[in-house]
Structure 1
């Protein structure tokens, strides 16, 4: 609908579905939006027009000035619009102008399709169904996408309409659209309408429907859709209707969507609501994994099991999901000897992907762990050659700083070096490279980046240490309050605050000088590969700790000096001085301490690699 004013160049388009029309009379619009250069002038005039008609709130969202009476009027208008829609639809149908099965939209939707999509009133929908001509079968009623009424109900989540349809026309459950999708598949994939999906599931009663929906490739895809949405409870409900799986996609979907393991603090705080939810989700995923393995074990012949577990167990290895690997291996012991496309088994694949939890299973194995000490791949690489490869990007991205990344890969290399036979350390592969040669070639660029990171960090802290040294040295010479002209002794020598100042300033000076010397030694280091394992991180730790101590004691010295000068006659001044001093120290520690903790935990913390556990597993060959 279009309304035009006396000005022929201005036309106001009012959409038919706009619920609050405003009649704009004689708008004074003289500028047309004909290009970017006209936008500002056009915008100014449009804002003036909207303000004059009290419509600006619909543009900037400031509609909070609507009174309760006005809101009630709006609600009555909305109800009137809905009633008008029902009456209009019924009136059109009653007059015989169209039937409910006539196509009334561009994509071939009938009036029934539109009703399912837009109306969730079951009584109205049932009245619409009663108007269906006797010679028309609703199971054959499709739009241009091949969607039946039940497809539309599944897409929009219209549970009431879906319930009515499946009770009257159960064969709609297995009908497919042009893309080969059933209504149940669409309910699972279209914004995850769980309620509608459960309604469809509860109405699947015949064996024909069960065999059609829960078998073959399409059956596996239903489970994958539910698993991908992290709704493991719904996936478990689906799984109970399966007699067997068609391929490895279901197990692979569980592995790819398996919830992350809870951290140490999350396990301690398991009573909190959000943590309890994560615990429940992980438990649901683990239970589903167990049930899928059970189904595979009982429904698939042992000769075909390999193609079901090979890719999933390797993906679980890549993701470092040790619980998943253990569960799969518990049901299918030979899965531990699965090989990737490059011929790498689980432990070799774990070394390549730096999956330390899977690698630690070596210490839970019985005699078979010795096999890996001499095992080689098709290129003649032993386990140490594989450890010498560059770590995957997703592993390195979790480590802050190139220097710590080099330290991480060195720790991996040294760990595997301790495990393999001494002869393997110098053994060459088919490319005539030793493990050390492979490591140097693979990590050449990372070493350069680590050197840049270490030098830039040391340079920044060197400047800070030099500034602190200068400040506290000057403070030590010109003590607060000055010196006695005759004896040269500081005037406030016997003041406790002066003692605090003297001690803090001295500690700050000495530690700042130590820090400065350490950072200077880092700048002149040789930056060899081995230095990144302990030497350089240890120097950086000492430098940061001494600089942190120097900064903290400098702040304390300044606070004491401030109190000496201004607080002698006003003891209450100690409160704001102490508060500000404590706040500054806290702020300083909060900013610098995380890096110190990362360095200390990476260098001296508990090793990521385990040792022989009490429990051993029988990994059959």
Structure 2
């Protein structure tokens, strides 16, 4: 047997002495030794009596090719030839050509060979002219360039392998231009075979830039573009979704009409990946549309993406403005009144009085709520987008939970929700936990890789909303009082740990951070059994010992922050004290030399000056004493809970009062000295007086608000978050369709 191994197009030849027929059955040939080369096909015409031998060879080669394909690719190839009547109608060459069409580069007609360098320069110049003509959007120039240089619309004209059609889709915004270019391409050329060096079809380019009109034209010409994948295995729909082009994505999604298209795009993990990419872009409305095409959820990736990207919970104003207050069915009530009046004429009078009384009561009710409703109408335009995003996210979460529960085996539920529920706890996405726990009964006992359940993990990650589930548990609450992890840590040991950095960074100032940590420790300390407070773990440490060790550095940082803040404000308070004390001695306008009474005693502005100066002096001295007491404090752990924050609040509040009173006293002095005969000077004095007060409120008052809120504000624990309302429970019981 003679063979040629140097030529990539391998041809097997068998001499007649070795084989009685010129057409062998290559059962002795090892396929992997030559299938890795590029295959070429040519038609063999033999004698009729040996035609069956070539059929045997063709069947074997076809089996090699089909056996090397993946399940999805094999299904696509077989679907192409589903209309063939017999297996013999589909040859190995047909299968190979189909694969070449699906995954190969576009076949560009080659011109007769000429001088290499000159030919390459001419073609490069022609490609450049055509590229420039397309980008200019001049159709006449494009036609002239194509006719002059004989460049086809599917020929690669750029360095990255883009054809004229690729360039037109990516640059021009004229749909008619693209349609005219498509009309120049013969009907027998499949657009799914026109690809650039990245394997992108023109529809991929339209998806990348979000050109919906071009996508409509291309899909109408060749629907095979919908299923075409680039070298990275991405369809145009996947690229449009990842690029966050909502309109283009919705159009491509609407084109997936056949079961074959839906199965190719949405079957198995590929559908989950598409949905995850949409959720990651926080486009929950489009995610709901995509979810309707998915038959099932096979992995935990979807719930994980929801937990990571779930929008923050709506506050009371947003929740109020996003819903209607009441619905009064006046027409139905009027119809009932008419029916009763016909049946009981004598009762009409009493019923009419009742109606009038009811209308009077409803009138008062509407008047009482008139202002809130008007406020609701004014606020809604500013928050309607956020309310809608939250509603779409809730709808998607409910749909995914129902899909998992009704389309999966109950024994596999935990694989779909375990990791997402702990991710939701870490992100403090309470509403995600709110939906997962009722849907899956065993979710409450889920544990992570460290053996911590959801309440323990909520304490570790300082997720107060999830921790509040404890206050709504009737059956399992006592279990959490005594439960321990693998290291012998009870719930109080876990609360004694240092909070994650991302949670501490949400709190301004090291002093407020240690205060928050103490509040968590005290909260859990009040929940666990008294025996657990002194209980030791496997490392022979009590919860208090763990807290001291974990927060040692944070306490030092809190002391530095508190001292630095107190020192800065001490200088300011001392300076104000000096100024207002000097102003009290040397009053504006001077005093009578004989009686010592100030000359402007009877003026209203002088009275304002005297009162403001006195308030400023007393407040500044109080502020100075508070800050000095902070500088001399012991800075123990427990002092950061109430004692030190209270001193800082008093010092800052009195300093603000002192500064405001000092500015008012200075403004009154200006008016006394310069404005007695010119009242117009009062306006600029008032404006200039408000300027430093406003600056102080803007820059320093937020710190006071944070301190007051953290120390004396509403507690984050307890019954602030109701676990499951009756409405939510009813929604969970609804059947899934």
| Fold conserved between structures, TM > 0.5 | yes
- What corresponds to 2:529 in structure 1? 421
- What corresponds to 1:236 in structure 2? 288
- What corresponds to 1:165 in structure 2? 218
- What corresponds to 1:495 in structure 2? 603
Task: Write the distance in 2 (CA, Å) between the matches of 1:366 and 1:477.
Answer: 69
- What corresponds to 1:75 in structure 2? none
- What corresponds to 2:270 in structure 1? 218
> For residues 430 and 566 of structure 1, do their structure 2 counterparts lie closer, same or farther at Cα, with a shift above 3 Å needed?
same
Q: 2:577 aligns with which of 460, 464, 469?
A: 469
Task: Write the distance in 2 (CA, Å) between the matches of 1:110 and 1:578.
Answer: 71
**Larger mean Cα displacement after TM superposition, 169-178 or 540-549:** 169-178
Alignment of 1:140 onto 2:193: yes
Q: 1:261 aligns with which of 291, 303, 313?
A: 313
Task: Write the distance in 2 (CA, Å) between the matches of 1:167 and 1:496.
Answer: 85
Bigger RCO (CA 8 Å, 6+ sep): 1
> For residues 615 and 281 of structure 1, do their structure 2 counterparts lie closer, same or farther at Cα, with a shift above 3 Å needed?
closer
Q: Does the residue aligned with 2:137 lie in a helix, a strand or coil?
A: helix
Partners of 2:137 and 2:177 within 8 A in 1: no
Task: Write the distance in 1 (CA, Å) between the matches of 2:131 and 2:262.
Answer: 45
Partners of 1:154 and 1:186 within 8 A in 2: yes
Partners of 1:363 and 1:612 within 8 A in 2: no
Number of residue-to-residue matches in the alignment: 544
Deviation of 1:584 after TM superposition, in Å, equals 3.5
Q: How do 1:8-407 residues align onto structure 2 when only pairs under 5 Å count?
A: 81-83=136-138, 86-94=139-147, 97-133=150-186, 136-190=189-243, 192-267=244-319, 271-407=379-515
- What corresponds to 1:59 in structure 2? none
Q: How do 1:567-582 residues align onto structure 2 when only pairs under 5 Å count?
A: 567-582=675-690
Task: Write the distance in 2 (CA, Å) between the matches of 1:325 and 1:194.
Answer: 29
Deviation of 1:133 after TM superposition, in Å, equals 4.9
Partners of 1:104 and 1:110 within 8 A in 2: yes
Task: Write the distance in 2 (CA, Å) between the matches of 1:295 and 1:531.
Answer: 52
> For residues 491 and 162 of structure 1, do their structure 2 counterparts lie closer, same or farther at Cα, with a shift above 3 Å needed?
closer
Partners of 1:248 and 1:308 within 8 A in 2: yes
Query: TM-score scaled by structure 1?
Result: 0.82
Alignment of 1:520 onto 2:628: yes
Q: Does the residue aligned with 2:582 lie in a helix, a strand or coil?
A: helix
Q: Deviations over 1:136-194 (max 9, x none)?
A: 4433333222223332332233333322333343333222211011111012123x222
Partners of 1:147 and 1:176 within 8 A in 2: yes
Structure 2 unaligned regions, length at least 5: 1-127, 323-378, 730-737
> For residues 368 and 162 of structure 1, do their structure 2 counterparts lie closer, same or farther at Cα, with a shift above 3 Å needed?
same
RMSD, aligned α-carbons: 2.7
- What corresponds to 2:703 in structure 1? 595
Task: Write the distance in 2 (CA, Å) between the matches of 1:617 and 1:573.
Answer: 61
Partners of 1:314 and 1:340 within 8 A in 2: yes
> For residues 139 and 582 of structure 1, do their structure 2 counterparts lie closer, same or farther at Cα, with a shift above 3 Å needed?
closer
Deviation of 1:388 after TM superposition, in Å, equals 1.0
Deviation of 1:444 after TM superposition, in Å, equals 1.1
Deviation of 1:546 after TM superposition, in Å, equals 1.5
- What corresponds to 2:734 in structure 1? none
> For residues 615 and 396 of structure 1, do their structure 2 counterparts lie closer, same or farther at Cα, with a shift above 3 Å needed?
closer
Q: Deviations over 1:39-90 (max 9, x none)?
A: xxxxxxxxxxxxxxxxxxxxxxxxxxxxxxxxxxxxxxx999422xx23433
Q: Does the residue aligned with 1:305 lie in a helix, a strand or coil?
A: helix
Deviation of 1:424 after TM superposition, in Å, equals 1.1
Deviation of 1:605 after TM superposition, in Å, equals 0.8
Structure 1 unaligned regions, length at least 5: 1-14, 20-77
Q: Deviations over 1:591-615 (max 9, x none)?
A: 3322111111111111111238876
Q: 2:666 aligns with which of 552, 558, 561?
A: 558
> For residues 222 and 614 of structure 1, do their structure 2 counterparts lie closer, same or farther at Cα, with a shift above 3 Å needed?
closer
> For residues 108 and 81 of structure 1, do their structure 2 counterparts lie closer, same or farther at Cα, with a shift above 3 Å needed?
closer
Return the index of the structure with the highest Cα Rg.
2
Partners of 1:484 and 1:490 within 8 A in 2: yes
Task: Write the distance in 1 (CA, Å) between the matches of 2:573 and 2:396.
Answer: 57
Task: Write the distance in 2 (CA, Å) between the matches of 1:228 and 1:497.
Answer: 63
Partners of 1:373 and 1:420 within 8 A in 2: yes
Query: TM-score scaled by structure 2?
Result: 0.69
Q: 2:616 aligns with which of 503, 508, 519?
A: 508
Deviation of 1:562 after TM superposition, in Å, equals 2.9
Task: Write the distance in 2 (CA, Å) between the matches of 1:319 and 1:80.
Answer: 47
Task: Write the distance in 2 (CA, Å) between the matches of 1:212 and 1:384.
Answer: 52
Q: Does the residue aligned with 1:272 lie in a helix, a strand or coil?
A: helix
Deviation of 1:449 after TM superposition, in Å, equals 0.9
Task: Write the distance in 2 (CA, Å) between the matches of 1:110 and 1:575.
Answer: 71
> For residues 18 and 298 of structure 1, do their structure 2 counterparts lie closer, same or farther at Cα, with a shift above 3 Å needed?
closer
Task: Write the distance in 1 (CA, Å) between the matches of 2:511 and 2:130.
Answer: 62
Task: Write the distance in 1 (CA, Å) between the matches of 2:284 and 2:653.
Answer: 48
Partners of 2:616 and 2:661 within 8 A in 1: yes
Task: Write the distance in 1 (CA, Å) between the matches of 2:200 and 2:451.
Answer: 46
> For residues 309 and 592 of structure 1, do their structure 2 counterparts lie closer, same or farther at Cα, with a shift above 3 Å needed?
same
Task: Write the distance in 2 (CA, Å) between the matches of 1:226 and 1:581.
Answer: 53
Deviation of 1:218 after TM superposition, in Å, equals 1.5
Task: Write the distance in 1 (CA, Å) between the matches of 2:426 and 2:320.
Answer: 27
Partners of 1:380 and 1:430 within 8 A in 2: yes
Partners of 2:170 and 2:209 within 8 A in 1: yes
